Amino acid sequence: MTAPLKHSADITVDVALGERTYDIVIGRGVLQSLGQRVAALRPGVRTAVVTDHTVAQHWLEPTERSLAEAGVPISRIVVEEGEGSKTYAGLEKVSEALIAAKIERNDLVIALGGGVVGDLAGFAAAILRRGVDFVQVPTSLLAQVDSSVGGKTGINSPQGKNLLGAFHQPVLVIADTSVLDTLSPRQFRAGYAEVAKYGVLGDEAFFSWLEANHADIFSGGAAREHAIATSCRAKAAIVSRDERETGERALLNLGHTFGHALEAATGFSDRLFHGEGVSVGMVLAAEFSAQLGMISEADATRVERHLASVGLPTHLQDVAGFAQEGLADADALMALMAQDKKVKRGKLTFILLQAIGRAVVANDVEPALVRDFLQQKLAG
């Protein structure tokens, strides 16, 4: 697998879900086509754009201009940045604002932002008037390759990540890669963890390509569009086969059982971005797989080295302030993992590795083995 030598034309990835099929449009500058695409998709529609304060500073005006030039009426709803908005209070704020804007069942909600905004706006759309369609305009790398695709929406509970939500597919995804230029290096790295995940779980050749080309992805070269499109194709293929995560789609949660527990342990704060939690979680999943004799130590080390090479955290001790707050004990993490959405009748489910590029769903993992493993890792 090789990267294109120059920026290609816009790339369209199809998410095949029968009559609910939709396109992911990927490319530099595609945001300016949003208005025309929305007007063609839903003539006469009204829209409400949900975004956060940081994204609004950079991209709300271009978004509204594109819609206005296409004759599409707009309302705006701006929330605070970060996981703190993915709460009951945040959902109430967005839902009441949508009702006040008189968004009806044949109108569109537009989620302009990263994963938090996409999850929050999508969930509000799912429950508003028993279901209003929405468009995803992801502005972070993580959202472009993961959370904007596949229809998972929701908010956090104080007891765990994404425990309240709904499957609600968008009708269109506009992934403008130029908006990623405004991300901080840390935000971009966090999103890259989800890109690497697709290679680790199902495509060893893609993982090898990432090892060779990650610098071009970070610098904004043509490899960036290629990596995003490859990631979106991988997720779209899985979602089209298992939309509601009854089987294969669970593989996309590689690193998430450990990662979500770490996010909860740090209070869903900016001390640990979601992608950073996934990075640590992927390394833990690889090392646990090696301890169980499923993969070689060399493969587990390869995963850890690549994530570390781009500056991502790879060990529990890398999580800021983790030990100092008394959260660095195996029992506390096990209690948090017990709230994971993949738990069935109290039994833990993990996504483990048989090789780089071959992940498997492991049901009924013995909790004592996980606890002993975590104790080892916490001891350094």
Query: Among 197, 249, 302, 306, which one carries the catalytic annotation?
Result: 249
**Residue 322, phi then psi, degrees to nearest 5:** -65, -55
Query: Among 225, 243, 245, 304, which one carries the catalytic annotation?
Result: 245
Q: Residue 172 forms beta bridges with which residues? A: 135
What crossing angle do the helices spanning 185-202 and 204-219 adopt, rounded to 10°? 170
168 assigned to a ligand binding site: no
118 assigned to a ligand binding site: yes
Query: Among 156, 225, 253, 276, which one carries the catalytic annotation?
Result: 253
160 assigned to a ligand binding site: no
Is 189 catalytic? The answer is: no
115 assigned to a ligand binding site: yes
289 assigned to a ligand binding site: no
Output the DSSP codes for 31-93.
Answer: GGGHHHHHHHHSTT--EEEEEEHHHIIIIIHHHHHHHHHTT--EEEEEE-SSGGGSSHHHHHH
Query: Among 189, 226, 235, 302, which one carries the catalytic annotation?
Result: 235
Is 194 catalytic? The answer is: yes
Is 276 catalytic? The answer is: no
Is 341 catalytic? The answer is: no
Is 152 catalytic? The answer is: yes
342 assigned to a ligand binding site: no
- Dmax (CA) of the chain: 61
152 assigned to a ligand binding site: yes
Query: What pairing do the DSSP bridges indicate for beta strands 11-15 and 22-27?
Result: antiparallel
83 assigned to a ligand binding site: yes
248 assigned to a ligand binding site: no
Residues in CB range of 329: below 8 A, 6 or more apart: 378
165 assigned to a ligand binding site: no
Is 344 catalytic? The answer is: no
Is 130 catalytic? The answer is: yes
Is 214 catalytic? The answer is: no
Cα-Cα-Cα-Cα dihedral sign, residues 305, 310, 311, 317: negative
54 assigned to a ligand binding site: no
Please list the active-site residues. Answer: 130, 152, 194, 235, 245, 249, 253, 256, 260, 274
| Binding positions | 81-86, 115-119, 139-140, 152, 161, 194, 256, 274
| Binding positions for NAD(+) | 81-86, 115-119, 139-140, 152, 161
| Binding positions for Zn(2+) | 194, 256, 274
